Amino acid sequence: MIRTVATKPYLDQKPGTSGLRKKVPVFQQEHYAENFIQAIFDALDGFKGKTLVIGGDGRFYNREVTQKAIAMAAANGFGKVMVGQGGILSTPAASHVIRKYKTFGGIILSASHNPGGPHEDFGIKYNAGNGGPAPEKLTEAIFAKTKMISSFKIADIGTVDLDTVGTVEAGGMTVEVVDPVADYAELMESLFDFDALRALFKSGFRMRFDAMHAVTGPYAKEILENRLGAPNGTARNFVPLPDFGGHHPDPNLVHAKHLYDEMMGPDAPDFGAASDGDGDRNLIIGKGIFVTPSDSVAMLAANAHLAPGYKAGLKGIARSMPTSGAADRVAEKLGIGIYETPTGWKFFGNLLDAGMATICGEESAGTGSNHVREKDGLWAVLLWLNILAARGESAKQIVTEHWAAYGRNYYSRHDYEEIETDRANALVDELRAKLASLPGTSVRGMKIASADDFAYHDPVDGSIARNQGIRVLFEGGSRVVFRLSGTGTSGATLRVYIERYEPDKSRHDLDTQEALADLIAAADDIAGIRSHTGRVKPSVIT
Ligand code: VG1
Ligand code: CO
């Protein structure tokens, strides 16, 4: 029943910020997915007879690769596979299932916020037994295996029925098809004050949650509407579609503009939110106010003790380097640790496992806590709701009061998408070469205090991650950061992160792009963005 199939390596299977992401036709090449899955197994030790979790965000090709992964897990000696019904598990739900059932690890099929469909993106990532994304050491080992693979193992078990919850035997292995929502909903119920949230909705509080035709639809329906009693229609676009309805399931001001417009309109609901393809990102928009992800991390951390799951307080806060320093001020006030990591959730795992951080966040709309080892979109939404219920204030009040107390970190990210790889590399190389000469010079009247290429020294395992983003810091605390995306699938994407701190309360209601105008111009002066990329403006501003 078990076959060993000869194969040839593909040399482009290097995992990026979050797993391997490629266009669907790339994944559909002969043995392409099989090679990568076998390389994951080849890089792991000691899983014979153990349990593997498999689930994905429901995008095009999800079912096919789920079947392959099950048949390969059986052939490679796993004792059991737990798979989400229909091949579905949001990224945070998969992380939870891995942890709750003390399984060996899990394979998550997703390209997250990237578009889906026959010509769009697909992805595969591996999460370890702590529920978190494979650390760099493991992703490097997997990549090394992909370059020398000569065969893979697969069991002839036919097509497993993924649509019926229950347990079947296949190829000498147990396959348990699980309800993707149940365990996750129970976890949320253990962290948040569901009675208070039910009372909130009962009092007429109106909310809009846009699942963007991605994986969080069933989770939002069950939790917000069925368990918390929010009116039918609170969750929008809640049926996961293989192509996300033709849209980018990326909850930002560009791809969720309809939600933003509604929240700024005259008849706006009290609270608006959205999540991405695999359910780990969140967009938060209060009535009449957009909350930047960096601010959201800080505000959630400052108020988390109001939710039952965090009433004992936080151990520490961790944020990715490009994320604004708003959270640092909260950590300082609370007298707890603040950690600055490279971009990507895999760097938070050690801090969470070691009990050094409780809440983590990224400027890219990812927030999470030690309840799982991934960022978690609905969790962030529920924590916001819990805080609104406990404080009895609107999101706008909470945001403006926070700025008044801590100051405001004006923040924006400018993305230049699908630029030619050579041109992007030239920009970065040139910038790196002049870093040492920048400190002490002035740009647009602003003096540069320091400039470097961020390196992270993991305080738990001592590992070092270098070249994690170029930062130029100005006197007074403003900064611009440049890095290339590690999740795109065509060309290169340059991300420019711009931040300025404003302590003065009378200057907290400026337009963000205007408040940052000098720094935006300085970023171009320093890096020559226009001349290198040939672009006069960013493709996406968040
Ligand atoms: C982006 C974000 C990063 C996030 C990653 C995965 O990476 O910047 O913060 O962790 O996506 O998120 P990059 O390398 O393209 O900047 V997700 O929701 O796509 O899993
Ligand atoms: Co995601």
Candidates 112, 275, 364, 412; catalytic one: 112
Kindly list the distances between the CA atom of residue 379 and the CA atoms of 14, 98, 181, 260, 385, in Å, as whole numbers in the listed order. Answer: 30, 17, 13, 20, 10
Among the candidates 406, 435, 468, a domain finishes at 406
User: What is the C-alpha separation between 269 and 266, in angstroms, rounded?
Assistant: 9
Read off φ and ψ for residue 216, nearest 5 degrees: -75, -5
Query: For residues 344 and 373, is the Cβ–Cβ distance under 8 A?
Result: no
Ligand 1 pocket mutation pick from 18, 294, 489 by most atoms within 8 angstroms of CB: 18
In this structure, the number of other CB atoms found within 10 A of the CB of residue 359 comes to: 29
Query: From residue 465, how far is each of 6, 135, 137, 204, 519 by CA, in Å?
Result: 35, 11, 10, 49, 27
Ligand 1 within 6 A of 415 CB?
no
- Specify whether 168 is located in the same domain as 33: yes
Domain end call among 123, 144, 179: 179
CATH number at residue 146: 3.40.120.10
Under 8 Å CB-to-CB from 472, ≥6 apart: which residues? 438, 448, 450, 451, 479, 480, 481, 482, 523, 526
Q: Are residues 292 and 227 in the same domain?
A: yes
Question: Measuring CA to CA, which residue among 328, 507, 521 is closest to residue 414?
Answer: 521
Count of alpha carbons within 13 Å of 163, Cβ hemisphere only?
A: 2
- Is residue 200 domain-shared with residue 169, that is, in the same domain? no
* Residues 333 and 475 placed together within one structural domain of the fold: no
Rounded distance between C-alpha atoms, residue 180 and residue 84, angstroms: 5
Token code pair at residue 220: 């939002």
User: Is residue 220 located within the same domain as residue 250?
Assistant: yes
Same domain, 163 and 20: yes
195 with 161, same domain: the answer is no
311-317 long-range contacts (CB < 8 A, ≥24 apart) are 314/357, 314/358, 314/359, 315/355, 315/356, 315/357, 315/358, 316/351, 316/356, 316/357, 316/358, 317/357, 317/358, 317/359, 317/360, 317/361
Is residue 294 among the annotated active site residues?
Answer: no
495 CA closest ligand 1 atom index? 16
Residue 521 and residue 382 share a domain:
no
| Residue among 380, 56, 67 at smallest CA distance from 240 | 56
How far away, in angstroms, is 233 Cα from ligand 1 center?
Answer: 30
Domain boundary among 352, 372, 406: 406
Angle in degrees, 0-180, between the axes of helices 91-100 and 182-191, rounded to the nearest 10: 90
CA atoms within 13 A on the CB side of 438: 27
Per-residue confidence (pLDDT) for residue 171, from 0 to 100: 86
The 8-class DSSP code of residue 135 comes to: P
> 342: CA distance to ligand 2 center in Å?
17
- CA of 344, closest atom in ligand 1: 10
- Element holding 520 (H helix, E strand): helix 517-527
| Residue 536's CATH number | 3.30.310.50
| Domain tally, the chain | 3
**Any atom of ligand 1 within 6 Å of the Cβ of 112:** yes
Give residue 94's pLDDT.
Answer: 98
Identify whether the C-beta of residue 183 lies closer than 8 Å to the C-beta of residue 94.
Answer: no
Contacts of 142 (CB under 8 A, 6+ apart): 15, 36, 39, 40, 43, 126, 134
Mutate to test the pocket of ligand 1, among 364, 373, 489 (most ligand atoms within 8 A of CB): 364
Instruction: Return the amino acid letter for 14.
Output: K
- The reply to whether 132 and 205 lie within a common domain is no
Q: How far apart are CA 505 and CA 490, in angstroms?
A: 43
Burial label for 242, CB within 10 Å (0-12, 13-18, 19+), is: middle
Task: Tell me: do 484 and 370 sit in the same domain.
Answer: no
Q: How far is CA 345 from CA 9, 136, 251, 316, 477, in A?
A: 28, 11, 18, 16, 25
Helices 194-202 and 377-391 cross at an angle (nearest 10°) of 70
C-alpha span between 13 and 1 (Å, rounded): 28
Which residue minimizes the CA distance to atom 1 of ligand 1? 487
Closest to 458 measured CA to CA, from 126, 129, 137: 137
The angle at the Cα of 469, spanning 120 to 367, to the nearest 5 degrees, equals 65
Distance (Å, rounded) from C-alpha 131 to C-alpha 104?
Answer: 9
Q: What is the CA radius of gyration of the chain?
A: 23
Q: Which residue has a Cα nearest atom 17 of ligand 1? A: 112
Query: What is the residue type of 370?
Result: N
Q: What string of DSSP letters covers 332-360?
A: HHHT-EEEEE-SSGGGTHHHHHTTS-SEE
By the 10 Å C-beta count (0-12 exposed, 13-18 middle, 19+ buried), 96 is classed as buried
**What CA–CA distances, in Å, run from 362 to 294, 376, 436, 513?**
7, 11, 28, 20
The distance between the two most distant Cα atoms of the chain, rounded to a whole number of Å, is 72
Which of 373, 428, 456, 487 maximizes ligand 1 atoms within 8 Å of its Cβ, making it the mutation to test the pocket? 487
Note whether 256 and 124 are same-domain residues: no
* Strands 289-291 and 282-286, sheet pairing: antiparallel
73: containing domain: 2-179
pLDDT of residue 488: 85
Give the pLDDT of the chain (542 residues) as one tens digit per residue: 899 999 999 999 999 999 999 999 999 999 999 999 999 999 999 999 999 999 999 999 999 999 999 999 999 999 999 999 999 999 999 999 999 999 999 999 999 999 999 999 999 999 999 999 999 999 999 999 999 999 999 999 999 999 999 999 998 899 999 999 999 999 999 999 999 999 999 999 999 999 999 999 999 999 999 999 999 999 999 999 999 999 999 999 999 999 999 999 999 999 999 999 999 999 999 999 999 999 999 999 999 999 999 999 999 999 999 999 999 999 999 999 999 999 999 999 999 999 999 999 999 999 999 999 999 999 999 999 999 999 999 999 999 999 999 999 999 999 999 999 999 999 999 999 999 999 999 999 999 999 999 999 999 999 999 999 999 999 988 999 999 999 988 899 999 999 999 999 999 999 999 999 999 999 999 999 999 999 999 999 99
Q: Is there a single domain that holds both residue 449 and residue 487?
A: yes
